[in-house]
Structure 1
């Protein structure tokens, strides 16, 4: 496999994330498939930010430890990453800031001063230097900058990029591939597009990393996407406003992280009892409490599966890449409305803020679904008993319909009841609805498999660890099994996928093995745990070393 890895590092506020995306765009323009991991502390200025951009001639979705080019804006960017360097690594650094560097030193302060350009354009000098080191033509560099830099700043960036390009020499050559250039998007951006495809009318959120950029993305494009975007005062307001919008007939989604979801749990129960649809994009990060707010984890699975008092059905899905994120964000919204249940799209910082090549041709599109609506015949009863547990919807203002919504146990019309027979029938209706959802999901690709069935070694994983596991599996000739639906759990599909599993490793970004616990609850052996819980995702080579202990 032809591949290249580039690390760019500096302080918060120096545009490292934006520069990383431009580097990904540079490789994408040449036909490469890219992935960018972005690492940053919870600071507005200072600290140490870095992005690792990996490009390959096939689909990837994880980084490796070693890098081929290091672009360093400060001394920390060299000192903190010496273990990533190898004999062939090229280092380009800002000679204005780095006092101990080997490689190409660029006097970036002088360059931007001489070009009468703002300091942020130093990024373009570094990208220009990278292009020359990698043997990428100046015209490709300029095309990428023209596509990413606002018009009013373009000329300054082109001049500074040219200075960086001319200051170094070609070290290797990135050959163009005979493959189309794919757009590079983040998981949050694609989740937003998937929700819109599913029929989104309104998005409501309070900012919380790693879901904040989903709010920003949809807010910036609300007019073009013909949606309403609302930023209430807190997370309690978010879910209650979303339920109010849905009660009025608006297909609504919300976004948050673990701490915000804590505040939403009573509203989640209200959605369960009142049978008001709501879709929640829940981006995980390390806890408890504030935890490590700008890093990643897979620690909220059982919280999401069991949140809210009482017993009511819910849909929980955990996509592992952009194509799955698009399909299942769309499906979650549609299924939430079809079955009038809360739906939760469980992501994490790695997927939500990571940038990937987005191949729309690889999307497995979900079936289109419309909600079950009242036909206007007879007296409208909001919670009428039906065979599948789903009562037809009507919305306020519909002629002939009094539309009630209740947090109390209620009868078919929505009036509060404490009658034991009616209470039992209501609970059975909710559970019957969950069974109907489960039956439908049996027709979906709820469990994905990669590799040969007779491999004799299997890696179980979920969410964003998918691509690290797929690459690591190739090292051992192992198979990967990945559940996309976590509630209602697709036990039959999982059982079929695990036939002939052999030795099993269960890879997760948490300390307690939460997928493993879920598998045990359903009677399956999860194998040996391979866990990482330092706030960072697995690098492919790191995971290979850990799996060697299991498969030896």
Structure 2
């Protein structure tokens, strides 16, 4: 088997995500590339949750509409997921909780005999599954030992018992010796920040960006980070600006509703020329919307949010490699130009689990900003050719530093002078020209699939993976812009060479990227939009493309 999928389902709060990750790590030990799609309700306990673990010899970042195995821990899993079943699907089920056809595993019986808690049903099921697909017991033990610190021995015992009670039905062969790291998009963003020298992360939790806060908090002591969880998103952005004013490289993260509260702070950052990075994790709105599902409805929000006119950097990575790389770039650009940087992710990327390849682009190193030379009185907003003023921080006793949200002169003193106000506006907006020139050295637009095809798919963000798979099967070209602002017109124009038909694929109602490129004079011939909170499966997208071609 070169490509296969496993669906595991059960009650929310019963450890389905942990079980999915363990299964992924078993396949990882066999050298497969991994992708996990997570689906869960907005409740702490109760309701139904499931995960699809896909393994392939090829790089993947999307799931398919049929699975090869279903691990059913309750009746809901069978009742809800009939659509994932094909003729060859093997169903492995808890015979003590449901009745169906397939391979029975007696989870309650094992728990009772071994006096183990109910939450360990997953461990028994994983052990049984490993035996059924021919994975060596030593691999299972190794994965369990690395995964569990609490109740390690008991989990290992019940998993071994599940393994011993089962019989091998099919053999999943080893794919390679290449065991890649398995990480989420949020993990990759965090690592990218670390690579670019982040000092502080300040955030109020909001799905799907919350895990960045958790990840960095766990490792803060190793990297001398300040990681703070304030009382609201307003506090988070204003505290972040304070950290930036003190010379600390800082980021915050949220979703659409939280970003609404941050927008005045973004405008403050622009006026005060304070570098700050915001991770905007998209989910379907308006309002609370579908808080644990995915969408791409905040592109316009990122591009045009906050009052006034100013330079900003907006980037939308598609996978962990891009999330790692462009998070580093976003932090560097924020400090190089003293502007807000916005990283657009979505739930599918942020919480999806992927095999990680280190990016092949040029290495990104921490940017060191230009500092005040101390030759004259310090001017926080000194006029320069590129609009970027030398920095000094509060620890410098020789500098009088005035940070001002009002219009101001070079020293930071409030002004309402007409000519000076005009000059300051031009200073802030004029940085964008230099930022855009800087970005010409980066791959801001990538092309995949059949690069000679005259029919192309346009996509952004986490849609990249599913679009590439569909394009390879349909012999199409894929155009994938990563930087959304300043928009890389030259690179996009080059990517569009010889394209006669352009089909946009987006997870929103209105086609926000399609409308964006139209504003730069490019034509979109067909639009495929999906807005139910779920990403495209490979087969679903292929059918949608065939209908519009």
TM-score over 0.5 for the pair:
yes
1:202 counterpart (189, 200, 203): 200
Specify the alignment match of 1:50 in structure 2.
50
Question: Which stretch of structure 1 is more off in the superposition, 419-428 or 126-135?
Answer: 126-135
1:292 to 290, 293, 310: 290
Tell me, in whole angstroms, the C-alpha distance in 2 between the residues paired with 1:326 and 1:177.
Answer: 26
Contact 2:195 2:366 in 1 (8 A): no
Deviation at 1:126, TM superposition (A): 1.3
Deviation at 1:451, TM superposition (A): 2.4
1:96 equivalent in alignment to 2:93? no
Distance in 2 between residues matched to 1:42 and 1:364, nearest whole Å: 40
Corresponding residue for 2:68? 68
Structure 2 segments unaligned to the other structure (5+ residues): none
- What is aligned with 1:141? 140
- Deviation, 1:432, is 1.2
From 397, 405, 408, the equivalent of 2:406 is 408
Deviations 1:399-428 (A, max 9, x none): 321111111111111111111100110011
Question: 1:122 maps to what in 2?
Answer: 121
Matches for 1:475-490 after TM superposition, within 5 Å: 475-490=473-488
1:182 aligns with 2:183: no
TM-superposed deviation, 1:527: 2.6
Residue in 1 that maps onto 2:59: 59
Q: What SS does the aligned partner of 1:13 have? A: coil
Shift of 1:362: 4.2
Aligned to 1:255: 253
CA–CA distance in structure 2, aligned partners of residues 542 and 313 of structure 1: 39
Instruction: Tell me: CA distance 1:530–1:13, structure 2 relative to 1, closer, same or farther (3 Å).
Output: same
Shift of the alpha carbon at 1:361? 5.3
Determine the C-alpha separation between the residues in 1 that align with 2:424 and 2:305.
Answer: 20
Residues 471 and 478, structure 2, Cα contact 8 Å, conserved in 1: yes
Moved more, 382-391 or 115-124: 115-124
Task: Single out whichever of 302-311 and 353-362 deviates more from structure 2.
Answer: 353-362
Query: Which segments of 5 or more consecutive residues in structure 1 lack a partner in the other structure?
Result: none
In 2, Cα distance between equivalents of 1:474 and 1:519? 24
Query: Using a 3 Å threshold, how does the CA distance of structure 1 residues 363 and 223 change in structure 2: closer, same or farther?
Result: farther
Partners in 1 of 2:223 and 2:109 — Cα distance? 44
Deviation at 1:124, TM superposition (A): 1.0
Output the TM-score relative to the length of structure 2: 0.98
Q: Distance in 1 between matches of 2:161 and 2:67?
A: 24
CA offset at residue 178 of structure 1?
A: 2.4
- The residue that corresponds to 2:433 in the other structure is 435
Residue in 2 aligned with 1:313?
311
CA contact (8 A) 2:275 2:335 kept: yes
- Please report the TM-score for the alignment, with normalisation by the length of structure 1: 0.98
Q: How many angstroms apart in 1 are the aligned matches of 2:286 and 2:363?
A: 36
Taking a change above 3 Å as real, the CA distance of residues 364 and 512 of structure 1, as seen in their structure-2 partners, is farther
**Aligned-pair CA distance for 1:368:** 4.4
The answer on whether the counterparts of 2:42 and 2:292 sit within 8 Å (CA) in structure 1 is: yes
CA distance in 1, matches of 2:370, 2:313: 18
Distance in 2, matches of 1:90 and 1:97, equals 18
Counterparts of 1:384-423 in structure 2 under 5 Å?
Answer: 384-423=382-421
Report the Cα distance in structure 2 between the residues aligned to 1:363 and 1:36, rounded to whole angstroms: 25
TM-align CA RMSD: 1.2
Residues 112-511 of structure 1: pairs in structure 2 closer than 5 A: 112-150=111-149, 152-360=150-358, 362=360, 364-366=362-364, 368-511=366-509
8 Å Cα contact 1:372/1:392 also seen in 2: yes
Give yes or no for contact 1:38–1:353 (8 Å, CA) kept in 2: yes
